[in-house]
Structure 1
Amino acid sequence: MSVYEEVKRGIKLVSSQKEIIKNHYRENLEDYLFWSPAGNMHFGYWRLGVGFFNREQQLKEMNQQVLNLSDLKDGGHLLDLGCGLGALLRSAHEANPKLKLHGITMVDEQIAKAQAFGENDFDYRLGDFRCLPYKEESMDACTAMESSCYASGSSKNDMIAQAAKVLKPGGSLVIADFFIKADVKLGEKTQEILKKWGDNWGIVEIGRLDEVAEALGDNGFEEIEITNISKHLIPSLIQVPFLVIVHLLNLLIKGKCNKSRWEHMQSCFLCIPLAIQMHKFAYSIISAKKVKNALN
């Protein structure tokens, strides 16, 4: 049963969605490492000076684009919301070894693999970013790299509210993800593709840029900036079909292509028809700062 069907039937969402997410990332860990042996679980950012066909370099550059907006100083505390395999934190450590780095994920296998990369002094915790287990005003920056899509609703208010709680006054929140543009109405075919794409990954609803911006303001954020970086993703995006076919054939030969992995490959393919609709969707980086006199 898909997440969407569960919502329609009124079944408790949070528990079932968590299980779908956990199972997906447990069963497809090898697939994500095929995309990025360094553990990056997102698209890459291309600019002049970055190799057009060098996917790993583009993935690392995406990390750096997000970190640049985090505005961290020596000794600052960074929390990655939905840290996956810890690649963003490793990029942050490489850029500034004096940072205090924290990551939260619902998948214990991701923590084990992240620690296996060697930076075991990072503070990884098992948990849900919709209910953060950190002290109030303890973080200087929070990041969400293609994880905000798992927050609730089109405003992602629950994740934003939790980030506001743990951020220090003046702290930064930086979100990089795929969003629906403001005031866009999706056609029936696009909705069908989006539903299938989301079902396979346990995503109930992606964010709307206008509603996310409103939620940021409502939760005490200012200096809200939204940058559409869709064109910078093209070089990594066009590699998806080729890599999916190669990896899928490899899985079939080895007899490892179960239902979960097949669905994962499907959603990778479905990124293409969604991404080309640039008039409806945008891959954006959103940055904001918690107001300095905000009270939680």
Structure 2
Amino acid sequence: MPVCEQVKDDVKLLRSQEEMIKDHYRENLEDYLFWSPSGNMHFGYWHGGLGFFNRDQQIQEMNHQVLNACNLKEDNHLLDLGCGLGGLLRSAYERNENLKLHGISIVEEQIEKARKFGLPQIEYRLGNFSSLPYREESMHACTAMESSCYAQGESKKDLIAQAAKVLKPNGRLVIADFFIKADAKLGQNTVNLLKKWGDNWGIVEIGRLDKVQHALEENGFENIEVKNISKNLIPSLLQVPFLVVIHLALLILKGKCNKSRWEHMQSCLLCIPLAIQAHKFTYSIISASKVDHAAH
């Protein structure tokens, strides 16, 4: 479905969401590495005992929070849906070298860069998580780290259905992302802000908690847990404006500040006015287990 119009020489050119996502991540790969040289493309999780301004430590802790929710055991298979540069999978390998690790992304440049980080034990595939190229019931856990926002509609039903297909009975799905709260009513100013934020990153709709939970139930998941961790993101969110200013200045000095990178910086900054609307939005870790029909 076309989601963007570009006007060039009075001719409207339509770009699909997939093309927008590929272009964005291809053109802004260096910017994500400025945020996290270790190749993690997500916010950090802070708690007492971690450095308040130690972004890398918090990012690694976010990985641990998601991996803890997976309940992985020796030799289990883990699939990261929208794996980016493979940061979560490398964290999983550091915890347990016997895990069988898989990552999928639609962006070829991400896969190439992820492989350059090393660890040939991790299997990366180029593909779309709306049509997974894996055997049914072949995975013990699936994760979606700030990638579910690219899935279909407010329910993210395509990602959830595909995860259900490849997960074994009792397998775990863990999603960490930004969501609209179930009972939230968005005013026009917030809708406009959200649209601008999403358009720059190729996001059509972010998930709504109640619809995501309903899609999980419809696709055979149980023991659904929603953990609101919005407050744990505050330290890494506070670093965003300072890093944007520094990085933007460096890009201008290097003559590399094109339209795509400027839009990316805009959306980074827009995360803050959206995040402070805590009565409307939440950053949550959602975990659920695929029903074991043999036990019912």
TM-score range, shorter chain: over 0.9
Size of the aligned set, in residue pairs, is: 287
Corresponding residue for 1:95? 95
Which residue of structure 2 lines up, in the alignment, with residue 207 of structure 1?
207
Is 2:180 the partner of 1:176? Answer: no
**Partner SS for 2:144:** strand
Q: Offset at 1:3?
A: 2.2
Take 1:208 and 1:284, find their aligned partners in 2: how far apart are those partners? Answer: 11
* Structure 1 residue 104 corresponds to structure 2 residue 104: yes
Match of 1:44 in 2: 44
Which residue number in structure 1 is paired with residue 233 of structure 2? Answer: 233
- Determine if the alignment matches structure 1 residue 68 to structure 2 residue 60: no
The answer as to 2:77 corresponding to 1:77 is yes
> 1:239 is paired with a residue of what secondary structure?
helix
Q: Is the 8 A contact 2:4 2:16 kept in 1?
A: no
Which amino acid counterpart does residue 197 of structure 1 have in structure 2? W
Q: Check the 8 A contact 1:4/1:204 in 2, yes or no.
A: no
Q: Which residue of 1 aligns with 2:9?
A: none
C-alpha displacement of 1:293: 1.0
Q: TM-score, normalised by structure 2?
A: 0.95
Question: Could you tell me whether the CA contact under 8 Å between 1:82 and 1:144 is conserved in 2?
Answer: yes
When the two chains are superposed, the root-mean-square deviation of aligned CA atoms in Å is: 1.5
- What residue number does 1:54 align with? 54
Give the whole-Å Cα distance in 1 for the aligned partners of 2:69 and 2:167. Answer: 15
CA distance in 2 between partners of 1:191 and 1:208 (Å): 14
- Partner SS, residue 279 of structure 1: coil
Q: Distance in 2 between matches of 1:170 and 1:140?
A: 8
Specify the alignment match of 1:138 in structure 2: 138
Q: Which runs of 4+ in 1 moved over 2 A?
A: 2-6
Q: Secondary structure at the match of 1:278?
A: coil
Partner of 2:195: 195
Correspondence 1:250-265 to 2 at 5 A: 250-265=250-265
Give 1:183 shift.
2.0
Task: Measure the CA separation in 2 of the matches of 1:96 and 1:31.
Answer: 30
Cα-to-partner distance string for 1:38-89 (whole Å, 9 max, x where unaligned): 0010000001121111000000000000000001100000000000000000
Separation in 1 of the partners of 2:176 and 2:34? 22
Q: Distance in 1 between matches of 2:141 and 2:148?
A: 15
Counterpart of 2:148, as a letter, is: S
Letter of the structure 1 residue corresponding to residue 30 of structure 2: E
Give the equivalent residue in structure 1 for 2:223. Answer: 223
Q: Does 1:148 align with 2:135?
A: no
Tell me what 2:245 maps to: 245
Select the structure that is richer in strand: 2
Distance 1:190 1:113 in 2: 35
Instruction: Indicate conservation of the 8 Å contact 2:78/2:141, yes or no.
Output: yes
Counterpart code for 1:204? V
Distance 1:3 1:272 in 2: 24
Q: CA deviation at 1:185?
A: 1.0
The Cα offsets for residues 114-151 of structure 1, whole Å up to 9 and x where unpaired, read as: 11111122110000000000000000000000000000
Unpaired runs of at least 5, structure 1: none
- Partner Cα separation in structure 2 for residue 4 and residue 105 of structure 1: 21
Q: Distance in 1 between matches of 2:203 and 2:249?
A: 26
1: CA distance, partners of 2:57 / 2:252 = 29
Q: Residues of 2 paired with 1:50 and 1:131: CA distance?
A: 39
Q: Which runs of 5+ in 2 are unaligned?
A: 7-11
Aligned partners of 1:200 and 1:213: how far apart in 2? Answer: 27
The equivalent residue for 1:126 is 126
Conservation of the 8 A alpha-carbon contact between 1:175 and 1:286: yes
State the 1:5 CA deviation: 6.0
Counterpart code for 2:249: L
Please tell me whether the aligned partners of residues 179 and 207 of structure 1 are also in contact (alpha carbons under 8 angstroms): yes
Other-structure match for 1:29: 29
**How far apart are the structure 2 equivalents of 1:278 and 1:203?**
21
C-alpha distance in structure 2 between counterparts of 1:163 and 1:94, whole Å: 24
Identity %: 73
TM-score normalised according to structure 1 size: 0.95
Letter in 2 for 1:94: E
Secondary structure class of the residue paired with 1:195: helix
